[in-house]
Amino acid sequence: MSSKLRIIPLGGCGEIGKNMTAIEYDDHILIIDAGIMFPENDMLGIDYIIPDYNYLMDKLDKIEGILFTHGHEDHVGAVGHVMKDIKAPIYATPLTVGLLENKLQRAGLLKSVTINPIQAGDVFQVGIFTVEPFHMAHSIPDCVGFGIGTPAGLIVHSGDYKFDHTPVDGWPPDFAKLAEFAHRGVLCLMADSTNAEREGWTLSESVITAALDDVFSVAEGRVIVASFASLVSRIQQVANAAYKHGRKLAITGRSMRDTVNIARKLGYIDIPDNMLIDISETSKLPANQVTVMATGAQGEPTSVMGRLAHGRHPHLNIQAGDTVILSAHAIPGNEETVTNIINRLLQRGANVLYEDIARVHVSGHASREEMKLLINLVRPKFLIPVHGERRHLVQHAKLAEQMGIPKDNIAIVENGTVIELTSTTMSIGERIPGGHVYVDGSGVGDIGRKVMRDRERLAESGFFMAAVGSNGTGQLLGKPEYITRGLINMDEEWESEITEVVTRVMELHGRKAEKRVSSFIEEAISRYLYNETGKRPMVFVVLK
Amino acid sequence: MSSKLRIIPLGGCGEIGKNMTAIEYDDHILIIDAGIMFPENDMLGIDYIIPDYNYLMDKLDKIEGILFTHGHEDHVGAVGHVMKDIKAPIYATPLTVGLLENKLQRAGLLKSVTINPIQAGDVFQVGIFTVEPFHMAHSIPDCVGFGIGTPAGLIVHSGDYKFDHTPVDGWPPDFAKLAEFAHRGVLCLMADSTNAEREGWTLSESVITAALDDVFSVAEGRVIVASFASLVSRIQQVANAAYKHGRKLAITGRSMRDTVNIARKLGYIDIPDNMLIDISETSKLPANQVTVMATGAQGEPTSVMGRLAHGRHPHLNIQAGDTVILSAHAIPGNEETVTNIINRLLQRGANVLYEDIARVHVSGHASREEMKLLINLVRPKFLIPVHGERRHLVQHAKLAEQMGIPKDNIAIVENGTVIELTSTTMSIGERIPGGHVYVDGSGVGDIGRKVMRDRERLAESGFFMAAVGSNGTGQLLGKPEYITRGLINMDEEWESEITEVVTRVMELHGRKAEKRVSSFIEEAISRYLYNETGKRPMVFVVLK
């Protein structure tokens, strides 16, 4: 078999090539990112989802290293899971290292993992791969893409990016490096497709500075800003606005406090010590001296914003005069919970500002004109659109075709599809397990499709259980006991009607083998319940 | 007690004053609309929701009539429920009458209900109320708002509207009538707030004609258009495009076929007989002569589009070359299912066009500039923003304030809040039951909060049931039986560990009263399951 370069998107739920990617050449494997995803609305009871890296399990000794692009959850969140299996060293920029260390410590893995801090602009060897991280702008500092030299040619992976000329940290993307890659010749570009449906150019993060200043200038009460815990740039912007307007700042939500502590220690967030207060101290200050940053911009009921909206926060009560800023975009599937939070906060009398009515959030991802610029800067032979649902990958591919990349040189795949490259060809290879693994409570991966289907049915119609006394004579022993949940409010009329149903079945079949009697009773009760409620709950009968 | 005019928004889920409104003066009640809503994602197992009109139940003899603004589900869908209780006559324009009759027939109520067809421009008396329907443009023909003369003054209700100067049916809104109301003096305007967050002016329905023409001009295979069953204007536009490009048209989905039949019979849709084919005939024609109109633009899995996306439709299989148009906006909460449908159709090789990338849908509701025009045309003393979530009502109110309506003259309320008006004052009155009633299977309203909470818990963690043999001596009789669903895949190791847990509890407590033993066992199993899975399923123990 001749040597081939294989690129495999391993993780994602909806999005493709987002959370984990493997690059394989003969017996050498390089991994990019290990993030988590949040479950869709119909994944009942699931906490989060990790990439399915089962494919790697019998190749663990071939993994040369794992590169991280930046510190957001969808790129680093699964590190505590994957590093239980992968023993290769980690490569990441300092802020990303700080955030990774925090996760590895919580997973009890910090001591067993080798972490190599890297800088944008470095060139280093990971096994047979020559890795060149280059700076990209996003909504967190220290974000990089990677140039990866392989025996088949140079791969460029964009990471999450936007071409922000005025980012919050003042460090624009490394256009020169991208052009230099083009000069050397790029075999394949893997690029962020998130905003492939958005015309134009994504607004700079710095427009938010002005919007926040406007809000802080007129706010009479407290200002409460909700965002993502790891949106480091946004936290800095809010801190700057609070500082300018003479307000103290309380950071609340464990994950956001962790991020701020790490980023401050490493010099990526600048907040004076005397500006930070504990959330419990906010009530002691005049309202116009208080700023709160909180998690929960997605409306999660147990988050700080969720508790504020429902009036269940121990230290804060939303009141008339408060200004609440939702500085985030609703992740697809969360629109309804976010809108509920907005409505509830308004009901409590707050002035609520959000993306649809004020410029308090901008996307961290490139729009169509930036995607075109990336392609023209890098001038790849082949393009693999990644980071997005199929609809975004398709639009990204159409845009590239319009720019002259032949259709056959663009690969749109699903997670778990192998893309095979030589220095002159690209083709779609085998399909391996790829996609996602559910994490549910403390269990990883033990929730299969059957359990999920059962949850759906229980959510739809509940269950009905009857414990029926039988002595094999066809007569009922005592009164059956019934337990039902999630179906309907049972009353005595129902109970006696169901007991009649059970009695009739027992008279007919009660002298036969026990096992069959219970299934006859189950069928009869199911029929009765369907006629009465139009529903098909799970029905169980236990003979006693 | 002096006479007061009372306005009560009675129905809605999320949206306020949308689906049903009562207008009350002394012993005289007038109802506007009786629509249904679709459940939110966390309303597990609920089919749809009807307004809570419990308040009217001891006043049924005081209801003088029920007016309908137009034939969309969220305004007429509950007629089969409410007309079981309300015996007053219905007033509606001819197309709305046609759609209402269809629903009443299905509910077996057609013969017992009096229906009075009305026309925009009519003036008629309903009890003490003088009713003046006026034409408004929306995405269904024959849409009206109402001027309602009451002893306290004139109320104007906008209904669903947009100021479309070039509607599909060529009948623009009646600006003159609105101005005439202003001339007479309007006490109170109730107006649609749906798009209060959208700047500018909503595009005319007629822009879709051009967009469809573009799509049909280049489509090589079949064209399949998904929309709402009752979006009559859109159905006409698709039929026109199909006609122009020499294609036949199959209408699929029962509700859409019903609508088309009714609208054609009444002259509101113009499609030549020989153009219409059955869905089963589409396979006999060349692909470029086929157009299909289908339901399921919201991604409902059992709808035509849902079945097409999953490859489960008996007569149609999506294939490369097909063009699919989603001509609708995702209702809040449906974004995720709609995006899944788009991704799946793309995977099957279709060219998929949707709102984000092509002008194949426009909103049927007024944007901010139109809302301002309505206020300035009608010049009301008081404003009640309706039709929208609280966030939209708040933006509508702010817009009106900017136009000079005093804040105190604008009422933002929840469903079930009574607004009291005299000829000079407006105030917020009592809070009555208002809001919504769940319809679930064949049951109406018997699903309370407890059942919903149980469904949530079952969806999250499932249940665990143990039937334990006991004879009161502290010893287990035989092996316990276990039933669990929605928690985890049980294996033998689990079973034997749980049996150990049960055995220990029986040894300790098995000689005590039976009732307490089962709760001890329940607690012990719950503890064990929580330690093992991090989940808290419902646990039940039956002693046998």
Task: Give tens-digit pLDDT for B12-60.
Answer: 777 899 999 999 999 999 999 999 988 777 777 778 889 999 999 999 9
Residues B302 and B171 in one domain: no
Instruction: Tell me the pLDDT band of A444, cut-offs 50, 70 and 90.
Output: low
Taking contacts as CB-CB distances below 8 angstroms, the residues of chain B near A392 are none
The domain boundary residue, chosen from B427, B442, B457:
B442
Q: Is residue B52 part of a domain?
A: yes
Task: Give tens-digit pLDDT for B463-514.
Answer: 999 998 887 777 888 889 899 988 887 778 888 889 999 988 888 877 765 5
Stated as kind and residue range, the H or E segment containing B463 is strand B463-468
CA angle in degrees (0–180, nearest 5) for B109-B115-B117 = 145
Tell whether A48 is within 8 A of chain B (Cβ). Answer: no
Residues B44 and B186 in one domain: yes
Q: Where in A169-296 does DSSP place strands (E)? A: 186-192, 223-226, 248-251, 276-277, 290-294
Minimum Cα–Cα distance from A477: chain B residue? B544
Residues A350 and A368 in one domain: no
Q: Which residue has the tokens 């399949």?
A: B224
Does the structure's ipTM exceed the value 0.90? no
Q: Which residue has the tokens 């259980």?
A: A465
Residues B427 and B464 in one domain: no
The closest CB to that of A356, out of B197, B414, B456, belongs to B197
Minimum Cα–Cα distance from B468: chain A residue? A544
Residues B243 and B325 in one domain: yes
Categorise residue B479: left if φ over 0, alpha if ψ from -120 to 50, beta otherwise: beta
Considering only A428-432, B136-140, B514-518, which range has the smallest mean pLDDT?
A: B514-518
CA angle in degrees (0–180, nearest 5) for B31-B35-B38 = 150
Per the structure, the complete domain to which residue A490 belongs is given by 452-543
Res B38: pLDDT:
82
Residues B10 and B106 in one domain: yes
- Structurally, chain B folds into a number of domains equal to 3
Tell whether B443 is within 8 A of chain A (Cβ). Answer: yes
Residues B471 and B392 in one domain: no
User: Chain B: nearest CA to A173, how far in angstroms?
Assistant: 28
Res A41: pLDDT:
74
What gap in Å lies between CA B305 and CA B261, rounded to an integer? 21
Asked if B192 is an active-site residue, the reply is: yes
- Contact yes or no for B390 and A346 at CB 8 A: yes
What gap in Å lies between CA A216 and CA B144, rounded to an integer? 44
Residues A219 and A160 in one domain: no
Res A443: pLDDT:
67
Tell whether B343 is within 8 A of chain A (Cβ). Answer: yes
Average pLDDT, chain B: 92
Span A252-257, average pLDDT: 91
Instruction: Tell me the pLDDT band of A459, cut-offs 50, 70 and 90.
Output: confident
- Contact yes or no for B458 and A456 at CB 8 A: no
Residues A15 and A157 in one domain: yes
User: Chain B: nearest CA to A272, how far in angstroms?
Assistant: 36
Q: Which residue has the tokens 């709950």?
A: A537
Res A300: pLDDT:
83
Q: Is the predicted pLDDT of residue B1 greater than 60, yes or no?
A: no
Q: What is the DSSP string of B194-225?
A: TTTT--S-PPPTTHHHHHHHHHHHH--S-EEE
- Contact yes or no for A45 and B394 at CB 8 A: no
Minimum Cα–Cα distance from B454: chain A residue? A486
Question: Quick check: A426 and A420 in contact, CB under 8 A?
Answer: yes
Taking contacts as CB-CB distances below 8 angstroms, the residues of chain B near A455 are 458-460, 462, 486
User: Chain A: nearest CA to B532, how far in angstroms?
Assistant: 7
What gap in Å lies between CA B242 and CA B238, rounded to an integer? 6
Q: Is the predicted pLDDT of residue A418 greater than 70, yes or no?
A: yes
Q: Which residue has the tokens 């123990």?
A: B541
What gap in Å lies between CA A324 and CA A291, rounded to an integer? 10
Residue count (chain A):
544
Residues A71 and A147 in one domain: yes
Count H helices and E strands in chain B, helices first: 14, 26
CA angle in degrees (0–180, nearest 5) for B304-B308-B309 = 120
Res B443: pLDDT:
67
Q: Is residue B505 part of a domain?
A: yes
% of chain A residues with pLDDT over 70: 97
CA angle in degrees (0–180, nearest 5) for A265-A267-A273 = 65
Q: Is residue B506 part of a domain?
A: yes
What gap in Å lies between CA B284 and CA A318, rounded to an integer? 64
Q: What pTM was computed for the model?
A: 0.86
Task: Give tens-digit pLDDT for A146-181.
Answer: 999 999 999 999 999 999 999 999 999 999 999 999
Question: Quick check: B539 and B462 in contact, CB under 8 A?
Answer: no
Q: Kindly state the tokens that stand for A542.
A: 């236990």
Instruction: Tell me the pLDDT band of A223, cut-offs 50, 70 and 90.
Output: very high
Q: Kindly state the tokens that stand for A473.
A: 């004579």
Residue count (chain B):
544
Question: Quick check: A421 and A5 in contact, CB under 8 A?
Answer: yes
Taking contacts as CB-CB distances below 8 angstroms, the residues of chain B near A454 are 462, 485-486
Cβ-proximal residues to A508 (8 Å cutoff; 6+ apart), any chain: A474, A520
Task: Give tens-digit pLDDT for A363-393.
Answer: 999 999 999 999 999 999 999 999 999 999 9
Res B446: pLDDT:
65
Q: Is residue B206 part of a domain?
A: no
Res A19: pLDDT:
94
Task: Give tens-digit pLDDT for B325-362.
Answer: 999 998 878 888 899 999 999 999 999 999 999 999 99
The domain boundary residue, chosen from B335, B354, B373:
B354
Tell whether A538 is within 8 A of chain B (Cβ). Answer: yes
Stated as kind and residue range, the H or E segment containing B95 is helix B94-106
CATH number of the domain that B30 lies in?
Answer: 3.60.15.10
Tell me how crowded residue B539 is: count the other CB atoms within 10 A of its CB: 22
Identify the burial level of B267 via C-beta atoms within 10 angstroms of its C-beta, where 0-12 means exposed, 13-18 middle and 19 or more buried: exposed
User: Chain A: nearest CA to B99, how far in angstroms?
Assistant: 25
The closest CB to that of B542, out of A14, A460, A544, belongs to A544
Span A507-534, average pLDDT: 82
Res A442: pLDDT:
62
CATH number of the domain that A253 lies in?
Answer: 3.40.50.10710
Asked if B365 is an active-site residue, the reply is: yes
User: Chain A: nearest CA to B486, how far in angstroms?
Assistant: 5
User: Chain A: nearest CA to B431, how far in angstroms?
Assistant: 15
Q: Is the predicted pLDDT of residue A514 greater than 70, yes or no?
A: no
Q: Kindly state the tokens that stand for A267.
A: 């010099």
The domain boundary residue, chosen from B418, B442, B466:
B442
- Contacts with B, A 504-523, CB within 8 Å: none
Tell whether B301 is within 8 A of chain A (Cβ). Answer: no
Distances (CA, A) of B279 to B66, B169, B249, B250, B303: 38, 27, 9, 5, 14
Residues B344 and B410 in one domain: no
The closest CB to that of B346, out of A390, A461, A462, belongs to A390
Res B409: pLDDT:
98
Task: Give tens-digit pLDDT for B185-241.
Answer: 999 999 999 999 999 999 999 999 999 999 999 999 999 999 988 899 999 999 999
Annotated catalytic residues of A are 192, 365
Q: Is residue B205 part of a domain?
A: no
Task: Give tens-digit pLDDT for B189-201.
Answer: 999 999 999 999 9
Span A430-457, average pLDDT: 77
Task: Give tens-digit pLDDT for B286-314.
Answer: 999 999 999 988 888 888 899 999 999 98
Q: Is the predicted pLDDT of residue B447 greater than 70, yes or no?
A: no
**How far, in whole angstroms, is CA B356 from its chain's centroid?**
22
Q: Which of B365, B392, B396, B436 is catalytic?
A: B365
Considering only A273-282, A441-450, B326-335, which range has the smallest mean pLDDT?
A: A441-450
The closest CB to that of A534, out of B441, B486, B533, belongs to B441
Res B333: pLDDT:
81
Question: Quick check: A327 and A156 in contact, CB under 8 A?
Answer: no
Which is more confidently placed, A384 or A496? A384
Where do the H-state alpha helices sit in A39-174?
73-76, 79-82, 94-106
- Contact yes or no for A488 and B347 at CB 8 A: no
Q: What is the DSSP string of B497-525?
A: HHHHHHHHHHHHHTTS-HHHHHHHHHHHH
Q: Which of A390, A476, A494 to mutate to test the interface with B (most CBs of B within 10 A)?
A: A390
Average pLDDT, chain A: 92
- Contact yes or no for A459 and B333 at CB 8 A: no
